[in-house]
Chain A
Amino acid sequence: MFLCVLRVPAVKKTNQRTDMTETTASRTETWIDVCDVSDLEPDAGVCALVAGRQIAIFHLPKLGKVFAIGNYDPFSHANVLSRGLTGDIGGEPVVASPVYKQHFSLETGRCLEDETVSVPVYRVRIEGGRVQIQLPAGEKRP
């Protein structure tokens, strides 16, 4: 078998930088500006690129909340969680992976079918109509 890389899509670095201006809020924490609230999909997800990471952001208007978790699905090894269906299981807000349908808690990142698996959860907030994300300390820049 002949192995070669046919394509890996390019990420336009310039664009990325303009979209990710750092906002230093009143406290010392660093919040990264991601997108406009109107860019979110109510009751569904979008994928954001934040400091080289893929983050799935979900807006659930009925709860009046926005959630952010990793976009990478540990079961299918693909970046797909932002494309899953949202809902709740016993009151816990979840997204179902579109590949093998496991549910991940939007609050804790834990997989409901397999306690030993979880995805990262990020802090997210809305400031002045903008969606902002905070990366774990020490990892603000790749």
Chain B
Amino acid sequence: MQRKKLVVIGNGMVGHHFIEQLVQTEAAKQFEIITFSEEPRLAYDRVHLTSYFETRDPAKLALTTEDFYREHGVTVHLGDKAVAIDRAHKIVRSEKGTEVPYDVLVLATGSYPFVPPIPGHDREGCFVYRTIEDLEAITRTAAESRIGAVVGGGLLGLEAAKALQDLGLETHVVEFAPRLMAVQLDEEGGAMLRRKIEALGVAVHTGKNTQNIVTGKFQRLKMEFADGDELETDMIVFSAGIRPRDELARQAGLEVGPRGGIVVDDHCRTSDPDIFAIGECALWNGQIFGLVAPGYQMARVVVDLLNGKEAAFTGADLSTKLKLMGVDVGTIGDSHGRTPGAHSYVYKNEHDEVYKRLIVSADNRKLLGAVLVGDAAAYDTLLQYYQNGIDLPQPPDALILPSNEGAPAGLGPDALPESATICSCHNVTKGQIVACIDRGVVALADIKSETKASTGCGGCAALLKSIVDAELEKRGLEVKKDICEHFPYSRQELYHIIRVEQIRTFDELLENHGRGLGCDICKPAVASILASYWNDYVLSDKYFKLQDTNDFRLANLQKDGTYSVVPRVPGGEITPEKLIALGEVARKYNLYTKITGGQRIDLFGARLEQLPHIWKDLIDAGFESGHAYAKAVRTVKSCVGSTWCRYGVQDSVGMAIFLEHRYKGIRAPHKIKMAVSGCTRECAEAQCKDIGVIATEKGWNLYVCGNGGMKPRHADLFATDLDDETLVKYIDRFMAFYIRTADRLQRTSTWLENLEGGLDYLKEVIIDDKLGICAELERQIQHLVETYECEWKKTLENEAILKKRFRFFVNAEGGDDNVVFVEERGQIRPATPEEKHRLKGIPVELEEAS
């Protein structure tokens, strides 16, 4: 039998989902599937597009592979746009001139970002935010920009603003409406969100009508607003809504809506019965759905119809929960309270900047909608009340009021009916998840791949996990927090075992509490616990084999197999003599030198066998190990403070040096960074450190659990106006408590976020000594301080270790001939593989490791 031809135009999220679903059904046998993709790659996860800035790897976003399509006999025309539909002859024509006849046609052309027709909107420096190519262009221009503006203060606009800020730009959001997220949020919610976002350093301009974009005086561009204001910026990202891509349908004479969108019925059929439209290009019941879940539902409807099953699209819920620039926001259902007879419960807390509103039915029994800003913990529960029409508890405001017992008043996973939809992207119910567990699938990852739950937008991840945990617990299965396959314990439990049983070696622990040989996860974790408990020499025989190469060789391994060396420069204060000595060492061994963010100097390109020689020279010049190689206290950064600065109110350098000497070398679950600023101007950036100290007229303010880097987090103010002694006491306790209770490789910021009871609990433990352990915590730190030794000094005294561990070959002199340097900007850098290929074998200057 001749197979019918099915053509899908657009290989975006929905087009791909349609094909992926279809090929798994019976109907696949009847159809030969052909798809056109205008983009140069197969479908990718547009919902998580922003993560591209972190990975810069399109493959990480890919939803499928060419192999998958080939295996299922799907023909793909990549980078080829469909330009015409000839309905009379049932043929699709493409830009590259391909002509494909169809029996059934599916339009999944998505939408395009709307750019308001402002004069100058197409100038250089103007962008949209929809494809990987858009993000690549934004990244390139951001590198040579200082200021960025986003037009549009909706969901996507704020996501784009966050991206610009992460790219290091001074960021502005320009919104036409009088508030942010006008579609989803009510006035109070919008105002709260605005305050929170401004506090993060993004300027918000609402009620601004951009009229002109011209060349700027100081920056690349200037935006002129209707009210006469102006904004100079280097780049503009338009995020002012989306418009359905209905141009093909229009030209083919299909019915389209007055404001765009391909009109479809409940079967997702257009006005031509052989043509379907699904996803963001489809207009159903006068509505466009700009979310992926409704698009997936439409795709499934068409798949069912092609399989001869009855199915209908019945609309979709547009509830959303997301973290916008670190601010939790959730909206459910009728968030504006427009349903007749509806009334509201509002909770507003201006101190913590939390706003919650419930919209309930006239009889007070059903939830119609909700707005959550600043704290969206109740979202999952509320959504279940809303979607499943569960009767509200009385009075309903218990759902949004802070509860005194600390337990969120919520529907436990057990309270949900089997029919409750957990994942709306893939339409997975609680019943399906339970059935999957009943079949013996118990690992979260397997449940996800089996049921597809939580593999769409990911919004239901927390709910899914709590259901799985609850179900496993019911079945008497334990929820695993094991550090790895060798120990059935979490890091905290291992810490406890080591402390109680006074265990001193990994082998002892493995023998009594573990199995197998250990691995690269448990070994360093146990080494760190042993070090922070006993503080023995890290290169002693019982420890060295546990350490990854950085700790093992007391230097930082770089990508080419050489090491970098960072001597300690406490508080960033250094004498000219020492600076010269450092320079001389770098020159002698021809090392690449770079100033680090922690106010010290990093020397790169040291070969393994050179390390002892370099360190001998450094120690002779008065330096000591900087522990840059260890998960330990790294640096205490400081500003010059009251000694030199006219604003300073305390000696920040003196305090930084004191703190750095006190805590240097202490091993922890992850690295710990600190800083001390001499006044509230905060030049040392203490609020992005694990421990930050800011001088006040009366003493010191202590901040904890901040983080820079990939996941920035502002530190929380922990205590104010402390004298020196109390400050040190609190830091001692904080560090010891963190070391004792954190997970492996958990920075203080994530540790706090996962600590039950959060900041308040931490204060109770450390300030009020609620657990009665503070004396012990202080003793532990005191022991570590007293037993500190410079690891490099100790190593240089040990001939046997030097001879054994700091030579490259066990059976020959010399070093790795694969280490090749070239010169750039007057210093060495590792040669690229191509350069090595070219350069190797050329006569070279030989240099001995003195």
Contact = CB atoms under 8 A, between A and B. Distances in A.
A24 interface: no
Interface stretch (A54-62, A121-129, A134-142): A54-62
Interface in B813-850: 813-824, 828, 831, 833, 835, 839-840, 842, 844-849
Contacts of B817: 8-9, 11
Contact of A7 (B547, B804, B840, B847): B847
Contacts of B143: none
B813 A89 contact: no
Contact of A11 (B485, B813, B839): B813
Contacts of A12: 812-814
Nearest to A47: B809
A115 interface: no
Contacts of A25: none
B607 interface: yes
A35 B810 contact: yes
Contacts of B486: 87-88
B518 A87 contact: yes
Contact of B821 (A6, A47, A90): A6
Interface stretch (B14-22, B259-267, B278-286, B553-561): B553-561
Contacts of B607: 9
Nearest to B848: A10
B516 A87 contact: yes
Given A76-B559, A79-B561, A90-B485, A7 B846 contact: yes
Nearest to A62: B517
Interface string B484-508: 0110000000000000000000000
Contacts of A16: 812
A15 B552 contact: no
Contact of A6 (B560, B590, B805, B848): B590
B545 interface: yes
B812 A15 contact: yes
B520 A11 contact: no
B524 interface: yes
A94 B519 CA distance: 8
A77 B845 contact: no
Contact of B519 (A44, A62, A77, A89): A89
A29 interface: no
Contacts of B815: 9, 11
A85 B523 contact: yes
Interface string A13-48: 001100110000000000000110001111110111
B397 interface: no
Interface in A90-112: 90-91, 93-94, 96, 98-99, 101, 103
Given A1-B824, A60-B517, A90-B485, A8 B844 contact: yes
Contacts of B545: 41-44, 86
A119 interface: no
A88 B517 contact: yes
Nearest to B808: A47
B544 interface: yes
B786 to A, nearest CB: 30
B419 to A, nearest CB: 39
A9 B520 contact: no
A80 B557 contact: yes
Nearest to B605: A6
A86 B810 contact: no
Contacts of B550: 98
Contacts of B560: 76, 78
B51 interface: no
Contacts of A103: 520
Nearest to B827: A6
Interface residues of A, number: 56
Contact of B833 (A44, A77, A101): A77
A87 B816 contact: no
A141 to B, nearest CB: 16
Contacts of A83: 549, 552-553, 557
Contacts of A54: 809, 816
B816 A6 contact: no
Contacts, number: 161
Interface in B522-564: 522-524, 544-550, 552-553, 557, 559-561
Contacts of A4: 822-823
B809 A6 contact: no
B811 interface: yes
Contacts of B590: 6-7
B523 A87 contact: yes
B819 A6 contact: no
B517 A86 contact: yes
A9 B816 contact: yes
B337 to A, nearest CB: 52
A20 B811 contact: yes
A15 B552 CA distance: 27
B670 to A, nearest CB: 16
Given A43-B545, A54-B816, A85-B524, A5 B824 contact: no
Contacts of A44: 544-545, 552
Given A44-B544, A85-B548, A98-B548, A5 B516 contact: no
Interface string B37-68: 00000000000000000000000000000000
B56 to A, nearest CB: 16
B808 to A, nearest CB: 6
Contact of A9 (B811, B823, B849): B849
Contact of B839 (A5, A62, A88): A5
A6 B822 contact: yes
A99 B559 contact: yes
A117 interface: no
A62 B840 CA distance: 41
Which of B550, B811, B842 has the most chain A CB atoms inside 10 A of its CB?
A: B811
A88 to B, nearest CB: 4
Interface in B659-696: none
A71 B559 CA distance: 15
B844 A93 contact: no
11 contacts: A2-B824, A5-B839, A6-B845, A7-B844, A7-B846, A9-B846, A44-B544, A76-B560, A79-B818, A80-B557, A87-B517
Given A6-B828, A8-B846, A78-B560, 20 more contacts: A5-B831, A5-B845, A7-B821, A9-B815, A9-B819, A9-B846, A19-B811, A41-B804, A41-B805, A47-B810, A54-B816, A60-B517, A76-B560, A80-B557, A85-B548, A86-B517, A89-B519, A90-B485, A98-B550, A99-B557
Which 4 A-B residue pairings sit nearest by Cβ, starting from the closest?
A87-B519, A9-B815, A78-B561, A96-B520
Interface of A: 1-12, 15-16, 19-20, 34-35, 39-44, 46-50, 54, 57, 60, 62-63, 72, 76-80, 83-91, 93-94, 96, 98-99, 101, 103
